[in-house]
Amino acid sequence: MPFKVNYRQDPRMGFEGRKKGKYKGAEKFVTKMKEIQEEAKAALGKAQEEMKKYADRKRAEVDEYKVGDLVILSTKDLKYQMVGRRMEKLIERFVGPYRIKKIVSSNVVELELPSTVKIYLVVNVSRIRRYIGQVEGQRKEQPAPVVIKEEEEWKVERILNKQ
């Protein structure tokens, strides 16, 4: 029975001759094979739907980018270039902003990168995020000084002890 499902033809035994006419055994075999094929199609369709459901959980809507938009670039794949800067755990997660030069397809864009960034200019949209600048009118306030014994302290002069 699986032979018919896999190869879409009946197996040849080699010793059976071709006989003319209708036989009940052959008709039963044909109907049984059709039932098996329908069951296999239904099982494959169900498995396909389940796989799609689980695969779609991780997928999200892709942002629509335009030429000239500002984006930031993920440093996930750029760590070998940034090793000289700092320790790996202290490297920025995103660098930029960079301007989109060209839209190659719905999920691939070409960026205007400076010559210091030595990567291919065409990147997937999964590696970029839309740049959100500082809100107009928003102020960056300096932290308040630490008051110790009624004196304001701003800068650490030296570390006295460590654990």
Let me know: does 81 contact 118? Beta carbons within 8 Å.
yes
Cβ proximity of 103 and 128 under 8 Å: no
pLDDT lower than 70: segments of the chain: 1, 14-21, 79-88, 138-147, 151-157
User: Residue 123's CB: how many other CB atoms inside 10 A?
Assistant: 21
Model confidence, pTM: 0.48
